[in-house]
Structure 1
Amino acid sequence: MIAKYIRISDKSQHIDRQVNDTDKLYIDVISGKTKFADRPQAQQLIQDIESGLITQVTVHEVSRLGRNLLDILTSIQYMHDKGVNIYVHNIGMHSLIDGKESPAFTMVVTILANISQQELATLRERQLEGVRLAKEKGVYKGREAGSKFTPAELCGKHPDIIKYLQRRAKQKGKSYSIREIASITKKNASTVQRVSKAFNELGGKFYYNKLVDPFA
């Protein structure tokens, strides 16, 4: 059986681009920082692999498996040991060719996994710097009572929304409205509104100008 493993960070994210005609879906709504073996649906997938039900696992991109190089390579090796082939859609590569590990796949995936890990570390540094700058300006409120995320954490969870908020902040002419950003990113307007509020609490234009633009 071919399985499709999908990981998204929150329920507002769309999975349409990650879904195709596979036999069974395993969908985790969880942070990429969580180890693969600690995720509920990944655990179910592992159980089915142990039962001999799965012959191939398909993921849209390497980062769906995790954000830690060692964890990703460990998960891949586990599947190989069980005779399970892995197909990464966005690079169009299988991990096993005629039952043997593909050196090209290993090389490419190791590079991409390392990049994914570095992106997470960079994002964390950017969040901390944003908090520091916001505190200096006196606009940082931290986590409100009853809220789930701090402004920095909320912004970090929605880089696609932040991209357009940053563009809106720096452009003097064209400005993206909340509804436009929601339509472009395919997320709820309420989510965009919350992220916009968090972005402003982190300094808005100042946060954008002082930090590296990851979408440039």
Structure 2
Amino acid sequence: MAMVGYARVSTVEQNLTAQLEQLQAAGCEKVYQEKASGAKDDRPELSAMLDYVRENDTVICCKLDRIARSTKHLLEVVETLEKKKVSFKVLNINLDTGTPTGKLMLSMLAAIGQFEREMMLERQREGIRIAKEAGAYKGRKATARAKSAEVMQLIGEGLTREEVAKRLGIGIASVYRIVKDNKAAN
């Protein structure tokens, strides 16, 4: 049963000292630390920590925004920990998923995150509806289909589908679809 800490700052100029002191005071025997933006998916120390922890361990961080980029990401991290039967603590809000109150708090965070997501999607749909009514929204242009003649010409010249996709800046699936549609039409 190990106490494992995770500390992160967003920029190289920032200092991890305060977090490291708090994690040490909380009893962490091992601390994973990194200097990386929360927006990046590339957080090797977080991944290493999630791989390292074992059943009955506890992961501790100082603040929620140090471990997760968003509510959705937080819930993904906690789900990973739960599958491994690892508890999760956040020092500044006294959240501990090893307790019924901590589990309730996490459920409330999940509900709030889901609500935020649904509200954002509703606003997005409303904005698209208004833009369509005003004639300002046409959707994404079909860029690959517009290049059908070029695709067929390059295929005719003996290029592979992969080379055609790369040269024209379209997806390989689009090249296959265009070739298939042209064969069906002929």
State the TM-score, normalizing by the size of structure 1: 0.44
Alpha-carbon separation, structure 1, partners of 2:114 and 2:35: 20
CA RMSD of aligned residues (A): 2.9
Q: CA 1:103/1:53 → structure 2, altered by over 3 Å: closer, same or farther?
A: closer
The one of 58, 64, 89 equivalent to 2:66 is: 64
Aligned sequence identity (%): 21
1:14 aligns with 2:5: no
Alpha-carbon separation, structure 2, partners of 1:79 and 1:2: 13
- 1:18 alignment partner AA: Q
1:63, CA displacement in angstroms? 0.7
- Secondary structure at the aligned position of 1:90 is classed as coil
The one of 76, 79, 82 equivalent to 1:77 is: 79
Larger Rg: 2
The answer to whether the 8 A contact 1:95-1:105 is kept is yes
Partner of 1:41: 45
State the TM-score, normalizing by the size of structure 2: 0.51
1:56-100 Cα deviation digits (max 9, x unpaired): 1111111112222222111111101111111101101201227x9
- Secondary structure at the aligned position of 1:102 is classed as helix
The answer to whether the 8 A contact 1:79-1:85 is kept is yes
Q: CA 1:113/1:84 → structure 2, altered by over 3 Å: closer, same or farther?
A: farther
Deviation above 4 Å: which 4+ runs of structure 1?
108-115
The one of 22, 25, 31 equivalent to 1:25 is: 31
* Aligned residues between the structures: 110
- Secondary structure at the aligned position of 2:12 is classed as coil
Structure 1 alignment gaps of length 5 or more: 116-216
Structure 2 alignment gaps of length 5 or more: 117-186
- 2:77 alignment partner AA: S
1:11, CA displacement in angstroms? 2.2
The answer to whether the 8 A contact 1:73-1:110 is kept is no
Q: CA 1:101/1:9 → structure 2, altered by over 3 Å: closer, same or farther?
A: closer
